[in-house]
Amino acid sequence: MPVHSREELVAALDANDFERLLGTPESEWLDFKKEPYLLDSDKGRWEYVKDIAAFANATGGCILIGVKATKDPNELQEKATSVTAIPKKLVNSDRYNGILLEKLYPDVQGLRMRWYPESRAVSDGLLLIEIPSQRGSSKPFVLRSMSGAEDLPVIALGVPMRVGDRTSWMRAETLHHRMQGTRQVEEAAQVERESRQHASLVQRAEEHIRTLTREMKWSNVATYFLQALPPASERTGPLLNVHGEDGLRGALARPKSLRTMGFNLRQLGSLETRNGGLAYLEDPRRCISLDRDGLFTVGAYAEADFLGWYLNRARTDASSPMRLNPLVLVEFTLEFFRFVYAALIPRVSHGVWTFRIVTEGLQSRQGGVLLNPGRHNADHWSDGAPASVDVTVHGAGRRKGELRLRAG
């Protein structure tokens, strides 16, 4: 099965499971090379520096040397088709780093090179070059010279950008604007980019709720969803160690909670891998979805065995309103935010997290719902307040106001 994220790529390499790479497409974060860069030629050095700069000017990525990629006429991207391990003696890491220092400005921070297998006893392997996401204030990363680029001036500046699975060049006008513009202009552009990214996140969050409602078969019951949206920033990439037992999978499988058998995020079954993230849909009462960029969604239905626990024991008419238990609502909400604060926010040290609370079917589904007062137990049997609207959305996605938290 192809890999879908940097974490899955590294996990496959760590396990020496090279066959899993086959079928993986090149993308904005991954490039395959059959052979090492030919650093003895101007063109080879230019190709290497150009590729590193392209990832640094985007959101970072990986170059994996020793894998052949080809493009099927019926597909848009090249995919890994064979593993062609290279002799380790052909790569001098000091020379690779020295060429970057000589030909690229500014320096790329955190670049890392690793062999797989790592054993010195193995003479051939795959070389992984990891380019972390770089600070916006360091961009653009500019080639000092275009020497080696075919049909281009010997002395010139160029800014490559990674777009999808290809490299394109920034126009001279755009380059001039970015290098000569004031910090205020750049900050305004950054705000605009993050605004677009945030709007895209909200759209994806809304689609998640529609998908989960359909898959959980909740179209005829009232529902309660909580969502955490990661910072909309070019520095925010996939979360690290999503699938490790010592990472997010382990944290989500064994979340800290007030009560082991309470109304929390603990699962009765196993987490499944979905689109590079994690999901739990086995319990008909609640669901969990975690995308690899940190978008986190939990949901629960308003039935007598969860959000309406205890208060509907005497309810015999399915068309009568469902009483929501305020204590269950508070506990479930608390456990959601406990996990976000403990496991997600520490993994993203910058930017603003936003939160959404979405309820649906409060009036229209199965007679609607009533919310009982959250006071002494005697009040639980008093008349509850009916919902005033059918659907509510609080937080990101509203016209006014947001629930926001700055990380770091």
**For the segment 133-185, what is each residue's pLDDT rounded down to a tens digit?**
998 878 888 887 777 666 555 455 667 888 777 787 776 457 656 665 545 56
Any domain includes 62: yes
Q: Is residue 139 part of a domain?
A: yes
Position 88 in a domain: yes
* Domain with 337 in it: 189-406
8 A C-beta contact, residue 76 and residue 28? no
140 and 227, same structural domain?
no
Give residue for tokens 């604060």.
341
Within this chain, do residues 139 and 287 fall inside the same structural domain, yes or no? no
Q: Are residues 355 and 285 in the same domain?
A: yes
Q: Establish if 73 belongs to a structural domain.
A: yes
Same domain (yes/no): 202, 171: no
Structure tokens at 171: 């126009």
Residues 234, 366 share a domain: yes
Task: Tell me how far apart the alpha carbons of residues 339 and 264 are, in angstroms, rounded to a whole number.
Answer: 10
How far is residue 67's CA from residue 14's CA, in Å, rounded to a whole number? Answer: 16
Q: Which of 129, 150, 180 is the last residue of a domain?
A: 180
Q: Domain for residue 1, yes or no? A: no
Beta strand 286-290 pairing with 79-83: unpaired
pLDDT for residue 403: 52
How many angstroms separate the CA atoms of 324 and 380, rounded? 10
Q: Which two tokens stand for residue 108?
A: 């790329």
Residues 40-86 pLDDT 10s? 998 899 999 999 999 999 999 999 999 999 988 878 789 999 999 99
Same domain (yes/no): 227, 252 = yes
- Look at residues 130, 158, 180 and tell me which one is the last residue of a structural domain: 180
CB 61 within 8 A of CB 31: yes
Same domain, 357 and 232: yes
Domain co-membership, 161 together with 208: no
350 and 320 in one domain?
Answer: yes
- Do residues 295 and 319 share a domain? yes
Q: Position 393: which residue type?
A: V
**For the chain, what is the mean pLDDT?**
85
Among 180, 202, 220, which residue terminates a domain?
180
Q: Which residues contact 124 (CB under 8 A, 6 or more apart)?
A: 85, 86, 87, 88
Q: What are the tens digits of pLDDT across the range 243-253? A: 888 899 999 99
Q: What is the pLDDT of residue 193?
A: 75
Q: What is the 3-state secondary structure (H, E, C) of 200-213?
A: HHHHHHHHHHHHHH
User: If you search the block for the tokens 């399915």, which residue do you land on?
Assistant: 318
pLDDT per 10-residue tile (average), the chain, 408 residues: 88 93 94 95 92 93 96 86 94 94 90 92 94 86 73 61 78 60 61 79 93 95 94 73 89 90 89 92 95 95 93 82 91 96 86 91 85 61 75 62 48
The helix/strand/coil state of 257 is coil
Same-domain check for residues 164 and 273: no
CATH number at residue 24: 3.30.950
- 24 vs 17: CA distance, rounded Å: 13
pLDDT of residue 387: 83
> Looking at the 3D structure of the chain, how many domains does it have?
2
The reply to whether 97 and 140 lie within a common domain is: yes
